[in-house]
Every structure is written in C-alpha cells, then in structure tokens.
Structure 1
Amino acid sequence: MAQTPPPIDNDRFRSVLGSYPTGVAVVTGIDKQGEPIGMVVGTFTSVSIDPPLVAFLPMKTSRTFQTLREDSDTFCVNILAADQEHICRTLAAPGDKKFATVPWHKSPGGNPIIDGVVAWIDCKYASVVDGGDHHIVLGSVQAMDRSRDTTPLLFFQRGYGRFSTGPMVIGSERETLHYARLAEIAREEIERLASDSQLECSLVAPVGHDAVYVAVADHSPQRRANSRLGARVPVTPPLGTLFVGEPNGLSEEAWLSRLGKASPETYEQARAKLARVRARGWSAALVGNLTPAELEQALIVYSNPQRTPEQERSFLSCVSAMFDMHEPEQLSPDEEYDVLQLSVPVRQACGKVVLTLRMGALPPKLSGSTLHAYLQRLEACASRIEKLIAAQAERTPA
C-alpha cells in the first residue's frame, strides 16, 4: 500500500519554486471612476498562438484584480524593463493613486501602457477559472507591440534582477575600467593622503545600481589582508547619497524605491539623510553594533558577481541594522565619535559627481573638531583630483 506523502510546507514550496526566475509584468486597466489601476504579477505567460491567448494568475484575495475584473472587460499586460524596478515597487506597495508618479499612455483598448516598458499586450477576458488560492485568467489578445529594445525585469528568490549576456557584462566592465582610469590619475594624491593621515583612503565610482571601489590606498595600522579594490556596495538607502540625483547615478525616486516595503517613517528618514548630505556636501557613517569583521564579510559576499538574492538580502540586512548610524545630524566639535568612514564628492568640470573620495579605518573616539579637520583634508584632496581630471580631459581628444 502506497504511503501518503507528507504535506508540502508553505515556506519550502516558496523557496523551491523561487529558484525558477520569472518575468515581471503589470496588469493594468481603468476603473469606473476613469482612474488607472494596476497589479504586479510574476505569473504572466503565453498560452496559445492560434488563437492568441495569454494568462496570468492573481491571488483570489487581490482586491485590485477584483476591481479590474468588475470595472472593465479588457486589460493590458505591461512587460517591465530591467531599469523599471522602482515602478514595480511603487505599484506593488499599498496605497491609492499609485499612478500619480508613473507616466503612462492609453492602449488601443483604452488601458494604461506604462512608458518605457519592453512590450504591452491588450486583451479581453477569455475565461477566469479556479486555480487553488489563485485565479487562472486567460486573455484573448486584441493588440500588442514591442515598445523598447531592452532587457526585462526578472524576479528570482524574492529579489529583482536582470538578464545579462556576455556583451552586457563586458559593457559593465568597460564602465568600471573608465572610472579606474580616472582613479589612476589620482593615485599619487590618495597615496599621499593615506600615508600622511595613516588611514585608508579610496575612490569609489557609480556603476549601475552599485558603487565600486576603483582605487584603494591603505596606510592604517590595522591594514586589511585583502584590499577592497573592486568591491561593490549597493546604492540603496542610506548608502550612496553623494551619487543620488547625478546623471550617472540613481534618481532620488529610484534610490528611495530600493527601500522596498519600509515604513513611511523610514522613507522620511532616508529623505532627511539625503537632504542633509546635499546641504553640507559630505557624507559620514558611524560605527554601529556590527563588528568590522562582520561588515567585511558582508561586503565580500555582496561583491561576488554570482551572489544570489538571498545573499544580497543578507547584506542589506546589515545595512538596515546600521541605518541610524549613517549621516548623523551633526558632528559637534567637543563630542567624541566612532566613525566608520567619511566621504566627499569628486566632480568633473561640468559639476557632475564622478567619484567619491573616502577615508576609513579611523581611530575610535575622535572629537568632532578632529573629524572636521579630516573632512577639510578630504575636500582639499578632492579639489586637487578634480584639477588633475580636468587637465587630463583637456589633453584627451574629443
């Protein structure tokens, strides 16, 4: 007699099925008040060519799908592009008027097409059938088009990512090499600063959604066995503030969206930290509860190009644990601080921030006046580097 298999654990089911990547789409429509509505789905699939049918699987508890179904007999599937994660997070978050910050235009069927998507498919409902705790929605395709020749947004192990071909990886490497060449121009300057201060000094560049160490000079007493050269950190609140809003960095909206489903208070704190950095022109992070060894290990894991979303979340949990330690409101001259790092921007002649100059491995219990003296040295060094970069640009043919 065959034994009855044990029930499938819900968490294990999600974990195993999460090992299969899916595309990310937004199903949109217009409600009875004439307002755009939409829901993020990771279950969209093609079904049939003849007749042309597609499908998606909303949860039965979804109120957005209930409104979509009751208010219209058509819908539009928007295939999100890899650079539209912030739109995905905006539309997946709770709340009303989600389309207030999402640009869109009407499809032939009158449904919202989100600007910049890879493709869109206008459909009529063919059928809605039971699928356990989900509906299985079949759509009869009425119109469709590719809007943009780019890669789609992917969902894998509860994290977002993108498809990368060999040439795309090379493109990212070329971008990093460009910044490494700029950093090489400043090599003597950061070596001198590190030697004079007996600290670690580095130059960091924005590459995609990350900040990459492109030059490191370590003259601190506790010199690391492994250099941070090539290491990556995500440009996500509260990190990367000096790059936010720059032409080669993330927009403020995209930066904030990387908080995910955080509380409104956390969003406000992140905005306040960003405003503080912009007003004073420098960034600071204090030492938190995590040990230097724990931080270093987290950085190694994140810098692995083969890291999984689970490993990325582990790093982000470290960042979250130190959220309050970044961008203190002030460094009072007479108070003492344990500082993880200080950073200032390095700009091109046009004013664009191309690098940040960082100082780390600082001694404990430094007074605010000492830290401000370090910041002045950083700013003076950054100014010299800017002149070197400008001189190099003048010598390089356009």
Structure 2
Amino acid sequence: MLDPARYRQVMGQYPTGIAMVTATSQDGSPVGMIVGTFASVSLDPPLVSFMPTRTSTTWPQIEAAGSFCVNVLTVAQEPVCRAFRAEGVDRFAGEPWRTGATGSPILERSAAWIDCEIVNVLDAGDHVIVLGAVVEMDAPNTELPLLFFQGGYGSFTPQTMVSPYLNVASNLAFVDRARPLMEELSSTLGCECVLATSERDDILIMASAGVRSDSQRAMLVGERVSLAAPFGRTAMAWASSSDVDRWQRKAQDTETARAGLEMLDVIRRRGYSVSIEDPSHQPSSSPTVSVLDPGAELPFALAPAEGQVHSISAPIRRDSGPVEFVLGLYGMADTSAEGVDRAAQALMKTTHELANHLNDH
C-alpha cells in the first residue's frame, strides 16, 4: 500500500495556487476554507472546481448556501491563509470584503475572484469534487499569487513569460533574444514590459516581463486584442494605407477614427507612443483605459485634467519596413515628466538594439 507520507512528498513537487473559497452561511455569517485544489474546468460553459475533504466542517455550510466565491490569494494575504487554518479566531477580521452577485464574500485584496453557483458535487475518494458555474469574475490586483510548494508557502520570481501560441520559429528566436533586455527594462524601471506583434486584425501578446506597479489589469500572455483605432496605433504608424484604412473603419466612431489617424503622425515624428489615462474613463476589463497620445514632445508636464501616463510603446522595424513587433512599458513606478522621459529613452535604446538584431538576421 502506498505510504501517505511518501504520497505527500512526491505531490509536493508540484506547486499549487492557494485560494479561499467563501460563502454565506444560512445564519448570514461569512464562512470560508483554504483550498489548493481550485481548477478551471470548462470555457464553454465556464465551469471551475475545487475539492474539499469529506471531513471538512465548512464544506457542508458552503454546500447548503448553493454558491461560493473562489478568492485567489496573494503573497500579501499569507496571514489570511494562516488565520483560516487556526481555530478560535475571527477569520475575517481585518480583511476587507464585500458581497458578490451570489451573496458570497469577495476578498477585495485578492489577485482574482470567481463567483459561482454550485451545479454538481461528485464523489472522489476522501474528497468531493465541486463543480461551479461562473456567474461573475474579476482580477483586480497585480500582487503575485501565493503558492504552496514542498510543504511551505511562497511565491515565484517572474521572469519572461512567453505565449504558448507562438508557432513560428523566427518569432520564438526573437522572443529569446528580447527576454534579457525586457527583464532588464522591467527591473530598472519598476514596471511590466510587454512584447507584442500584429497579426492582420489582432495584436498578439507574445511575452511579458516584470510586474506593473499600478492597479490596472496586466495584459495576459497569449491574449489577442482587436486592432481598432486608436488601440494598436504604434503597430499601425508605419503600416500600409490599406491596413490603416481597415484599422480606422473598426473604430467606434468617426471622431475616434480621425483622432487615431492624427496619433499616427505624432508617433512617426516622435518615434514612440505615450498613452495617457483618460480620467473620465471608468476602469474596465479592457487591456487599457488610455485613449490619448499627446502631440507635445517629451519631456512634458501633464495638466491635472489630462490624467496620468499609462504606458509607452515603441516599434521594432526591419530597416524602413513596417512594424514587426511593439515593445511597451506599463505601470511605471515614476510617471513624472522626467521619469517618463527617462523610461522612453531606455525603451528606445532597447528597441533600436532589437531592430539591429532583425536587420542582422
């Protein structure tokens, strides 16, 4: 018979994320349990799962509620994780939360939360498998997730994450060349560095390095975003007239299309794009809330009404050809005029080096 201790030791070589599954009990009080078994099950329909033990005293309360919320814990929430493993303490004390659509508590500091209705419970040895239909979800914070590995808590040090959808050898070779430069940029400037390429009507996020310092959602490696004016303007600044026309036609309205075209002229003159958060725009799940590209050359001082610098992006071109790749900086720690100018110069130095690499191969 397999030794349980040996089983735990071997399985401990596989790092798992840590989540807190919450619900509202029948008496109206919040309940929660720590799990390392949360998993995505299905995209269509959206289903997730977790596996509580049969001996859990919290699981029957969650089952009776008929719904639950999975809160993906961050490194900063390790004390929360320890509190929920302790007895005789107020487990929710000091942890801000609110009620989600299903009535389940959402921990506001979580890296992500997934609010669900229970749709099935399956037998699985000394555990049960709980299937939940996703009702609502979000990833509001950029803190690194908390991990459980080899019997202890920890996290990981993100280096360059690369899209699994890259199937062109030249793209993979270019990403390998860009990796150390991206990591240096993100480390020096305290931001996220993202490498993307355009594929006809989409932008593909190829790789990212570092962690952004602001609260906006990070771009996901492998994500595709539609090329519609003004988004993707750095990639379009040196595109053919037919590609620019198609890009403009996909804009929300004629005013946005016209503004997008003016931005292309600014980017060609400056050599890179500066995105400014529109203070009147409410944050959403879109990759960016920025819509402006000021015409002034850097360094410049932003008026309070203009918002804050959100990102800087620069093209990577082979000689005088179209843009093949775009390198962007997101969530910079220093968004003063001097800090933005310093970041822009560092970004341009890197894109020039990568452009020389393209020309040499």
TM-score range, shorter chain: 0.3 to 0.5
- Normalised by the length of structure 2, the TM-score is 0.44
Computing the radius of gyration from Cα coordinates, the structure with the larger value is: 1
In terms of fraction of residues, the more helix-rich structure is 1
- Normalised by the length of structure 1, the TM-score is 0.40
